[in-house]
Amino acid sequence: MSYKIAVCSGKGGTGKTTVAVNLFSTIQTKWTKNVQLIDCDVEEPNDLLFFKDAKVINRSIVNQLVPVIDESQCTFCGKCEEYCEFNAISIIPSVKYASVDPNMCHSCGACLHACKFGAIQEHQHPIGELTSFSRGNQMDILEGSLKIGSPMQTKIIKDLKANACDESDILIYDAPPGTSCPVVETVSAADFVILVTEPTPFGLYDLRLTVDLMKEMQKDFGIVVNKAGMGDREVYAYIKEEDIELLAEIPFNREYAGQYAQGKLLSDVPPLIEQEYLKLAIYLKNRMSHD
Amino acid sequence: MIEITILSGKGGTGKTGITAAFASLAKNTVFADIDVDAPDLHLILKPEIKEENQFLGARIATIDRQVCTNCGLCKKECRFDAIHYRAEGGLEVNPFECEGCRLCERICPVQAISSEHSTNNHWFVSNTRFGSMLHAKMGPGEENSGKLVTTVRKNAKEKAREENADFLLNDGPPGVGCSAIASLTGVDKVILVTEPSKSGFHDAVRLIELVQKFNIPLYAVINKYDINTEIAKQMESFFLTQGIQLLGKIPFDEDMVNAIVNQKSIIEYRPDSEIARKIKEMWNKVTEPIEEIK
Ligand code: SF4
Ligand code: SF4
Ligand code: SF4
Ligand code: SF4
């Protein structure tokens, strides 16, 4: 079994991807090659931008089952429409119209149970892709991407988790931002969660929401403060008050921010920053041996 | 009334800081924070809540173990694997996994399952120093289906009409999913706040694709443009080819963060700064009554 680490942030743009990508690289160069990075931010997968040397080794389509109504069998009774909690079905008896909107459908299957006339059948409908990449001889990065506008984020995340390489020592999940369903889906399987925040009132507010979620889910977690040195000290006061482990502080560095912008996250990492990632990796290693 | 939604694709581009700056310039405007997953605008606008409303979230099923015969049908049929056997016997629903589709409730032969709407979501109507504001708070782990976004927008629109406001300004959600779509449909203008990084560019392209599907006039702001002037230039020419009007470029400045720390907009915090001047210019461009001829 792999040890699973999820990297989350309540708010977007706190540097969640930066932390996930750097941690992955630190572990790979300093600890074990047997680590996989899984980009679960399926609406906006970005991890790959930082690995120019990565080659696609496999690409597969993710489908969802969407019901299709056979109008020649349908009596337009409207029962399926009533059963659909997601408003995906519209039936207009007067004009003998029946249709399912794949962009609203959650593939729950309730309408199949509603129809007593055998008028509904399910078909595969593509909602996104899984792509695995390699930077040497192993599959070390896995990315999921969702078709624009599809509500099926969690389906892709489930497939990502199912396709992760179970032989890896460590799996790093780069979670979507926020605290809603897709985050829960990503974090649910994790042994440990890293919450990335920034020392500003925005960062703190969203951190609180994420901490609440972690507590509700009974997850072990710790905090990484990114862009340290900017903003104020409130985040630190909160971390102390809540008795949460401060795992690392990544100092803000204007030049490095420019490098990040360029996609050059992993070359010429300033020593002060490199040191913090090493600290984080060592912490995780200790944790793993205790868990 | 003109409704404007501010989006960023990727988080952390400084969207809310810029929205707050626009808020302090806007006259006769209603504000809505429709980034319901991680709402931050209230930290600067400091709303005084006038009205609190419950938003009925997705349903969650529960099994009445007194009635349940353990036939296992619900567990077998639930497509989300949300129903599990308990160590101490009987079945239970994991509320985090349940999508609220009610299939189990409908097929249970002995009606042992019921479902209730989650009551963890709220939305508010408030006063701020710049005008009325609508915002929301979502419970942790709730489904962000865009319905709450739609509710907040609908009520914000009503409020704006009631006040005879000239503008409704929405601070939008990140991403390109259903909440982003819910924040777009039927708005008059969209402002895209980006930053010049590869990932920022990548996300901006995805978002532009989405907005263009809805045929909404799109404006762009490049924030922190001097973090990487090369990518900023690429973005500029991309916007040009897409017919997107660039409202302006804002340099990186720690004062943007300092303003937030002081719970102020940059306009309030550094009224005479270069950034404040630029943002004023941008707001004027967006609100110009006559569309620019270009
Ligand atoms: S599968 Fe579920 S969501 Fe899809 S149309 Fe049928 S009832 Fe609606
Ligand atoms: S339940 Fe079956 S017969 Fe009735 S409207 Fe739906 S598809 Fe048609
Ligand atoms: S279908 Fe009803 S009776 Fe059967 S296990 Fe589920 S709750 Fe119990
Ligand atoms: S409501 Fe739907 S998702 Fe929830 S437990 Fe029942 S069948 Fe499963």
Cα–Cα distance, A252 to A229 (Å, whole number): 6
| Touching A: B residues 79-108, CB under 8 Å | 79-80, 96-97, 99-103, 106-107
For residue A111, the chain B residue with the least C-alpha distance is B103
For residues A179-202, average pLDDT: 92
Closest chain A residue by Cα to residue B143: A181
Percentage of residues in chain B with pLDDT exceeding 90? 73
Identify the residue whose C-alpha is closest to ligand 2 atom 2.
A115
* A184 close to B (CB below 8 A): yes
- Closest partner CB to B96 (pick from A110, A153, A184): A184
Strands (E), A161-279: 170-174, 192-197, 221-228, 246-251
B195 CB within 8 Å of a chain A CB: yes
- Residue B289: pLDDT band by 50, 70, 90 thresholds? low
pLDDT digits (tens, 9 = 90+) for A225-240: 998 888 889 999 999 9
Give the integer Cα–Cα distance in Å for A39 and A128.
14
The pLDDT of residue A127 is above 60: yes
Phi and psi angles of residue B65, each rounded to the nearest 5 degrees, phi first: -70, -15
Q: Do A217 and B141 touch (CB under 8 A)?
A: yes
Return mean pLDDT, chain B: 91
State whether residue A40 sits within 8 Å of chain B by CB: no
Confidence of residue B57 (pLDDT cuts 50, 70, 90): confident
What CATH number has the domain spanning B59-117? 3.30.70.20
Average confidence (pLDDT) over B59-81: 96
Task: Give the pLDDT of residue A226.
Answer: 92
Pinpoint the residues of chain B covered by CATH 3.30.70.20.
59-117
pLDDT per residue as tens digits for the range A110-119: 999 999 999 9
Q: Give the pLDDT of residue B51.
A: 96
What's the mean pLDDT when you consider all of chain A?
91
Nearest to A151 among B100, B145, B174 (CB): B145
The shortest C-alpha distance from B189 to chain A (Å) reads 19
Q: Which amino acid is at A284?
A: L
In contact, B254 and B272? CB cutoff 8 Å: no
pLDDT the model gives residue B144: 65
Task: Return the CATH fold of A64-125.
Answer: Alpha-Beta Plaits (3.30.70)
- Separation of alpha carbons B128 and B116, rounded Å: 34
Mutation for testing the B interface, residue in A129, A202, A212 having most B CBs under 10 Å: A202
Every domain of chain A and the residues it spans: 3-51+135-290, 64-125
pLDDT at position B293, please? Answer: 45
Task: Indicate which residue's Cα is closest to atom 1 of ligand 2.
Answer: A115
Contact B62, B93 (CB under 8 A): yes
Model confidence at B74, pLDDT cuts 50, 70, 90, reads very high
- List, for residues B84-128, the tens digit of each pLDDT value: 999 999 999 998 889 999 999 999 999 999 999 988 899 999 999
Highest mean pLDDT among A146-155, A236-245, B205-214, B282-291: A236-245
Q: Could you tell me the fold of the domain covering A3-51+135-290?
A: Rossmann fold (3.40.50)
Taking only residues 55 to 84 of chain A, the set having a beta carbon closer than 8 angstroms to any beta carbon of chain B reads: 83
Residues 138-177 of A with CB under 8 A from B: 146, 148-151, 153, 176-177
- At B292, the pLDDT band (50, 70, 90 cuts) reads very low
- Of A53-67, A235-249, B9-23, B82-96, minimum mean pLDDT range: B9-23
Q: Does B73 touch chain A (CB under 8 A)?
A: no
Query: Which residues in chain A touch residue B11, judged by CB atoms under 8 angstroms apart?
Result: 11-14, 177
List every span in chain B annotated with CATH 3.40.50.300.
Answer: 2-56+121-287
Q: Could you tell me which of A146, A123, A120, A121 has the C-alpha nearest to residue A44?
A: A146
- pLDDT score of B270: 93
Band (A137; pLDDT cuts 50, 70, 90): low
Q: In sequence order, what E strands does B152-228 have?
A: 167-171, 189-194, 218-223
Are A163 and A129 in contact by the 8 Å Cβ rule? The answer is no
Nearest chain A CA: its distance from B196 CA (Å)? 6
Choose among B85, B204, B101, A199: nearest CA to B93.
B85
Shortest alpha-carbon distance between residue A241 and chain B (Å) = 20
**CB–CB of B198 and A85 under 8 A?**
no
Picking from B95, B97, B69, B68, the residue whose alpha carbon sits closest to that of residue B81 is B97
Across the range A19-27, mean pLDDT stands at 93
Fill in the DSSP letter of residue B273: S
**Does residue B12 have a pLDDT over 80?**
no
Tell me: the pLDDT tens digits for B178-212? 788 899 989 999 999 999 988 889 889 989 988 99
Residue with tokens 């909404």, as numbered in its chain: B216
> Are B141 and A213 a contacting pair at CB < 8 A?
yes
Q: What is the mean pLDDT of residues A66-72?
A: 95
What fold is seen in the domain B2-56+121-287? Rossmann fold (3.40.50)
Contacts of B58 in chain A (CB under 8 A): 85
